[in-house]
Amino acid sequence: MAGSGKLVILSVDHGLEQGPARSFAKNPDAYDPAYLFELAIESGCSAHAAPLGAIESCVRDFAGEIPLILKATTTAQVDDALRLGCSGISFTLRWSGSVQGNKMYEEIQEAARRAKQLGLVVFIGVHTKGEGLNGKTGEPAVDVVADGAHIACQLGAHIVQVGVPAAVIEQEAAKYIYEAQGIRVKNLVERARHLVQSSFNGRRIILFSGGELKGTPEMFEEAKQLAQGGAFGTMMGRNALQRPRKEAVAFLHGVMEAYTGRGL
């Protein structure tokens, strides 16, 4: 959002994980990747993030109208971002509680190095998931998300994306220190603040994703609290694309206002 230092990015790759019907049938316009470009532009988003095929099929029609971020996982590599005129590239870090023996770190490293050579902004999206974590409770735990965000920073992310963290401490070894040092994570403002701190104390930009489909007031409230805790903005998909066009534009404007604290 011009002059605010805040970012609201329309980010869509749900079809890769959940298939097109589950992602787009609620608002069939969204089957067409051009619709998503139009929505991001019309609502004034900071950027549009999408997988290779979607960008490749539309980029000529929207050249220069909005910064693009190539979601590299599964469908693309750094050099595609250059070829397609993208400003940034986004990698996924699956964080399961340990950095040991994992080829993924090496792959992100190499890709991030190449991206920086090409002048691209490097996004790392942290997905907390894995055997070491206690499913629906443990994956969004604030200590787990904070660990993942810190690792993304150490891997060289310019911008880190995480899910909204829950008021849970998952790791036994972490519980003691959160209590002993009085790290506050009960409300969302506090958790946002802890996440900013865990991302080099604000030296790196941290964005929160929109998550599951929610009601509009609930989303606005969440965005306000995150912003109050120092969050730099959001990467949002489902909550925007599954609403009809007009409603989606209004919704995105509301989110922007929540982050910037001013009307549009």
Shortest distance, position 225 Cβ to a copy of itself, whole Å? 21
With contact defined as beta carbons under 8 Å apart, do 220 and 258 qualify?
A: yes
**65 secondary structure, DSSP code:** S
Shortest distance, position 249 Cβ to a copy of itself, whole Å? 20
With contact defined as beta carbons under 8 Å apart, do 236 and 209 qualify?
A: yes
Shortest distance, position 257 Cβ to a copy of itself, whole Å? 30
Shortest distance, position 150 Cβ to a copy of itself, whole Å? 4
**30 secondary structure, DSSP code:** G
Shortest distance, position 201 Cβ to a copy of itself, whole Å? 4
Which of 85, 94, 151 shows the shortest CA–CA distance to 120?
A: 85
The burial class, CB within 10 Å (0-12 / 13-18 / 19+), for 148 is buried
The burial class, CB within 10 Å (0-12 / 13-18 / 19+), for 196 is buried
Provide Rg for the chain, Cα atoms.
18
Q: How far apart are CA 123 and CA 192, in angstroms?
A: 18
Q: Residue numbers of the site for a copy of itself (CB under 8 A)? A: 13, 15-22, 25-26, 28, 31-34, 51-54, 56-58, 74-77, 79-80, 99, 105, 109-110, 113, 143, 146-147, 150-151, 153-157, 171, 173-174, 177-178, 181, 183, 194, 197-198, 200-204
Shortest distance, position 131 Cβ to a copy of itself, whole Å? 13
**Considering beta carbons, is residue 58 or 69 the nearer one to a copy of itself?**
58
**Considering beta carbons, is residue 14 or 253 the nearer one to a copy of itself?**
14
Q: How far apart are CA 182 and CA 61, in angstroms?
A: 53
**Considering beta carbons, is residue 109 or 137 the nearer one to a copy of itself?**
109
**Considering beta carbons, is residue 155 or 164 the nearer one to a copy of itself?**
155
Shortest distance, position 16 Cβ to a copy of itself, whole Å? 6
| End-to-end C-alpha distance for the chain, whole angstroms | 10
Residues 6 or more apart from 68 whose CB is under 8 A from it? 47, 48, 49, 50, 55, 59, 84, 85, 86, 87, 88
Cα atoms in the 13 Å half-sphere on the side-chain side of 191: 26
